[in-house]
């Protein structure tokens, strides 16, 4: 807790809303959790009338909604121990209790899956009766997605086997490779002092402003990857084989179809977006040309893609950052600033790094009846201020959904999850740019372009890599690290162009990339930011458009992204939508290059 002008500012999570006042004993809570699931299972598993009568299905879904409202993710106890584990990862007792809850939830989840499986297999001839029934209006998208998934689902017992085998056939392989990289330690000289760093710290240092440091870090990163590349080859082949087998069992026609179905987005929309971005790779290539010119080199080395340009050395204390973000949010909408104020005033943010605390940042919302919490590791950098805006965007999204939706619809589809966060963050960057002198403005604009290129163009290139990787694997049955590296290099060089060198060893940098283990997830970064940019553009034209943005942010999973946008007068199936959003990045690039020429930084 810190004081600011005699007012206490909460900088650690207040978890008292999660304390189990009526159930102080942990074992009692586990029994209560299991009892709630058992009641649902015992009441509905023997029955079939809810599959024929919409009124009875409404009763069953209401009970499921209540179960999720109270006990999603393990309820208060699951949430409490999950958050305490993030605050202190060295506490073994917390880990043990969290593991008990998670183990119980997996078993109960397997037992309750009969319900969505049964719903999904309601005969097609009867589905309209349920979709059009007025009592089921708030569950319509849930039902529609269940019916869409039907042809890809197996029997109850087979689904349990699929859940069990996923641990050994996918998760354990991925965990093994992640641990191998995490355990690698190397000595590196930083400003004349030898320091020991792990792999992920070395990766961060490859973007250091000091060339000697970043070159040394890149050399060590390549050394670690080279040591583990043969194992990564076996791992990626194993999990891709497992995915191929799953897709065949579930009758998916292409490797990314399962992802699109799970994200409630049509394959042709993702294809349209990826194609539009790939057709605009010249934007990314021109950005790297500009960066190379500003840094005074003919080409950027592969690991130098994210090296910052300019000196953004102004400190942004937590209090100053909160004040800035509150003002930006208030200018957008009063509800945004009021929600943000609740986060900062009521202990929903854990702000500063400390021993045992998890690194990075995130926003979490476990259930409709439970508070939103935000994890930060604020060190007074500009990027830390932007992280507050980004994670608070997720939090505002959560709170708007909470106010409008039931527990079944409380969430965001992966395809649009990054919209709110990037929307809020970009308006904060815009404010900073508007108040900066030319030198700082150029540095901020280059920083923003780097984020846009990494989020949109790099992720689309990664999606292309994944698509070709799975396709080629299905043709050949096994791919060597050299074959995988050649495919990776092809897609990375496509968006980077001639001003980033494909250095020896860089073809293996897929080995540590965790996103490709989540299979085709990366498209959502690009789609989220492009949708966000379209909305930003509309708000700048007409501030009243913010009401439509709020409507979108309140929808949760109650509508598909396509239908949400259709109500806003937007057709995301149209290539022009994506092209218009990409033009926002192109325009920023042109303005940045113009400023750099004006300042004499480039010819």
- List, in order of start, the domains of the chain with CATH numbers: 16-153 (1.20.140.70), 169-251 (no CATH)
pLDDT mean over 315-344: 96
Burial class (CB in 10 A: 0-12, 13-18, 19+), 500: buried
581: tokens are 């959003």
pLDDT tens sequence across 525-557: 999 999 999 999 999 999 999 999 999 999 999
User: In a 10 Å sphere around its CB, with 0-12 CB exposed, 13-18 middle and 19+ buried, how is residue 323 labelled?
Assistant: middle
pLDDT at 573: 86
| 371 phi and psi angles, rounded to 5 deg | -65, 160
Average pLDDT over residues 313-333: 94
- Across 140-150, average pLDDT: 95
Q: How many residues does the chain have?
A: 603
SS (H, E, C) 503-557: CCCHHHCCCCCHHHHHCCCCHHHHHHHHHHHHHHHHHHHCHHHHHHHHHHHCCCC
Among 156-165, 208-217, 454-463, 581-590, where is mean pLDDT lowest?
A: 156-165
Residue 436 CB: number of other CB atoms within 10 A?
Answer: 16
Kindly state the average pLDDT of the residues 101-118: 91
Cα–Cα distance, 466 to 488 (Å, whole number): 9
How sure is the predictor about 311, in pLDDT bands with cuts at 50, 70 and 90? confident
* Contact status, residue 340 vs residue 325, Cβ threshold 8 Å: yes
Cβ 214 vs Cβ 307: under 8 Å: yes
CB atoms within 10 A of CB 587: 11
pLDDT band at 156 (very low <50, low <70, confident <90, very high): confident
Phi, psi torsion values for 281, nearest 5 degrees: -60, -20
Separation between Cα atoms, residue 109 and residue 107, nearest integer Å: 5
| Whole-number Å distance between alpha carbons of 393 and 423 | 7
d(CA 395, CA 341): 11
* pLDDT over 90 (residue 358): no
Provide the 8-state DSSP code for 82.
H
CA distance 18 to 3: 25
43-63 pLDDT, tens digit per residue, is 999 999 999 999 999 999 999
What's the mean pLDDT in 391-407?
Answer: 96
Residue 568 has what pLDDT?
Answer: 84
User: According to the model, what pLDDT value does residue 167 have?
Assistant: 84
Question: CA 523, CA 284: separation in Å to the nearest integer?
Answer: 17
209-238 average pLDDT score: 96
Q: pLDDT category, 493, cuts 50, 70, 90? A: very high
Tokens representing 173 are: 């392989």
**Rounded Cα gap, residues 371 and 561, in angstroms:** 25
- φ and ψ at 335, to 5 degrees? -65, -40
Q: What b-and-e string marks burial along 225-251, b requiring 16 or more CB atoms within 10 Å of the CB?
A: beebbebbbebbbbbbebbbebbeebe
Residues sharing a CB contact under 8 Å with residue 374, sequence separation 6 or more, in sequence order: 343, 348, 349, 350, 361, 362, 363, 364, 388, 391, 392, 394, 395
pLDDT reading at 25 higher than 80: no
Q: What integer pLDDT is reported at residue 266 of this predicted model?
A: 93
**What are the angstrom distances between the C-alpha of 314 and each of 100, 308, 328?**
46, 15, 19
Tokens standing for residue 432: 């900073």
Tokens 């080995």 correspond to what residue? Answer: 511
Please report where in the chains the tokens 């998934």 appear, as a residue: 149
**How far from each other are the two terminal CA atoms of the chain, in whole angstroms?**
51
Q: Please, are residues 415 and 524 in contact by the beta-carbon 8 Å criterion?
A: yes
Contact 374, 343 (CB under 8 A): yes
Q: And the tokens for 248? A: 């065949």
Higher pLDDT, 199 or 19: 199
With beta carbons less than 8 A apart as the criterion, state whether 145 and 119 touch: no
Does the pLDDT at position 114 exceed 90?
Answer: yes
**pLDDT higher than 80, residue 140:** yes
Q: Is the pTM of this model over 0.75?
A: yes
Write down the pLDDT at residue 23: 54
The mean of the pLDDT values for the chain is: 93
Average pLDDT over every residue of 296-304: 95
Question: Residue 102: which of 79, 125, 126, 78 has the closest Cα?
Answer: 78
Neighbours of 553 (CB within 10 A): 25
- pLDDT score, position 7: 54
Position 24 pLDDT exceeds 60: no
Token pair for residue 367?
């259930």
Q: Check pLDDT > 90 for residue 182.
A: no
% of the chain exceeding 70 in pLDDT: 98
What value does the mean pLDDT take over residues 312-334?
Answer: 94
Distance CA 421, CA 529 (A): 9
Q: Which of 4-13, 174-183, 253-262, 271-280 has the lowest mean pLDDT?
A: 4-13
pLDDT at 299 over 70: yes
Query: According to DSSP H, which parts of 346-381 are helical?
Result: none
Beta strand 349-350 with 373-375 is: parallel
Which whole number is the average pLDDT over 348-374?
91
DSSP state of 411: S
pLDDT at 9: 75
Enter the tokens of residue 572: 């995301």
The pLDDT value recorded for residue 6 is 44
Of residues 397 and 183, the one with the higher pLDDT is 397
**Three-state SS for 129?**
helix
Lowest mean pLDDT among 16-25, 391-400, 481-490: 16-25
pLDDT of 48: 96
Model confidence at 315, in pLDDT bands (50, 70, 90)? confident
pLDDT of residue 416 exceeding 60, the answer is yes
pLDDT at 141 over 80: yes
377 and 360 Cβ atoms separated by less than 8 Å: yes
Determine the pLDDT at residue 20.
Answer: 65
Look at residue 360 in the predicted model and tell me its pLDDT: 85
* Cα separation, 155 vs 165, whole angstroms: 15
């Amino acid at each position: 807790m810190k004081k600011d002008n005699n007012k206490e500012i909460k900088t650690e999570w207040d978890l008292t809303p999660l304390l189990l006042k009526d159930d102080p004993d942990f074992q009692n809570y586990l029994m209560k959790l299991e009892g709630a699931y058992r009641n649902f299972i015992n009441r509905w598993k023997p029955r079939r009338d809810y599959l024929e009568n919409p009124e009875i299905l409404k009763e069953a879904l209401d009970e499921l909604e209540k179960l999720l409202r109270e006990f999603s993710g393990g309820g208060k106890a699951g949430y409490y121990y999950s958050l305490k584990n993030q605050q202190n990862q060295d506490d073994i007792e917390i880990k043990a209790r969290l593991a008990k809850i998670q183990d119980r939830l997996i078993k109960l989840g397997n037992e309750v899956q009969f319900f969505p499986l049964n719903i999904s297999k309601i005969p097609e001839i009867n589905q309209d009766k349920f979709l059009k029934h007025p009592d089921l209006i708030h569950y319509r998208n849930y039902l529609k997605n269940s019916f869409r998934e039907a042809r890809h689902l197996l029997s109850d017992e087979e689904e349990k086997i699929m859940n069990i085998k996923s641990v050994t056939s996918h998760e354990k392989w991925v965990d093994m490779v992640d641990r191998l990289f995490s355990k690698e330690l190397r000595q590196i000289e930083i400003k004349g002092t030898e320091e020991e760093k792990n792999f992920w710290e070395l990766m961060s240092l490859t973007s250091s402003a000091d060339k000697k440091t970043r070159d040394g870090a890149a050399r060590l990163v390549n050394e670690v990857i080279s040591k583990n590349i043969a194992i990564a080859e076996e791992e990626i082949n194993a999990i891709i084989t497992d995915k191929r087998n799953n897709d065949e069992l579930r009758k998916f026609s292409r490797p990314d179809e399962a992802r699109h179905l799970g994200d409630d987005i049509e394959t042709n929309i993702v294809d349209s977006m990826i194609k539009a971005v790939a057709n605009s790779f010249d934007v990314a290539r021109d950005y790297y040309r500009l960066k190379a010119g500003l840094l005074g080199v003919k080409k950027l080395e592969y690991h130098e893609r994210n090296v910052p340009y300019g000196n953004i050395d102004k400190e942004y204390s937590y209090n100053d950052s909160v004040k800035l973000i509150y003002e930006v949010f208030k200018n957008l909408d009063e509800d945004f600033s009021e929600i943000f104020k609740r986060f900062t005033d009521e202990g929903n943010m854990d702000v500063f790094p400390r021993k045992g605390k998890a690194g990075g940042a995130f926003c979490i919302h476990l259930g409709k009846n439970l508070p939103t919490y935000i994890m930060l590791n604020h060190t007074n950098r500009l990027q830390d201020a932007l992280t507050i805006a980004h994670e608070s965007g997720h939090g505002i999204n959560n709170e708007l959904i909470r106010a409008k939706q039931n527990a079944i619809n409380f969430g965001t589809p992966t395809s649009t999850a990054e919209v709110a966060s990037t929307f809020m963050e970009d308006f904060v960057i815009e404010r900073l740019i508007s108040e900066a002198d030319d030198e700082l403005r150029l540095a901020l604009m280059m920083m923003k372009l780097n984020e846009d290129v990494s989020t949109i163009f790099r992720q689309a290139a990664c999606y292309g890599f994944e698509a070709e990787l799975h396709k080629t694997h299905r043709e050949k049955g096994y791919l060597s690290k050299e074959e995988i590296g050649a495919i990776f290099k092809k897609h990375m060089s496509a968006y980077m162009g001639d001003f980033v060198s494909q250095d020896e060893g860089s073809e293996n940098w897929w080995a540590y990339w965790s996103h490709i283990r989540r299979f085709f997830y990366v498209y959502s970064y690009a789609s989220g930011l492009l949708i966000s940019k379209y909305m930003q553009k509309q708000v700048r034209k007409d501030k009243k458009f913010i009401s439509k943005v709020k409507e979108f942010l309140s929808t949760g999973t109650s509508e598909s992204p396509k239908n949400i946008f259709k109500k806003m007068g937007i057709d995301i199936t149209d290539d022009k939508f994506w092209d218009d959003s990409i033009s926002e990045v192109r325009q920023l690039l042109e303005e940045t290059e113009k400023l750099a020429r004006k300042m004499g930084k480039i010819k």
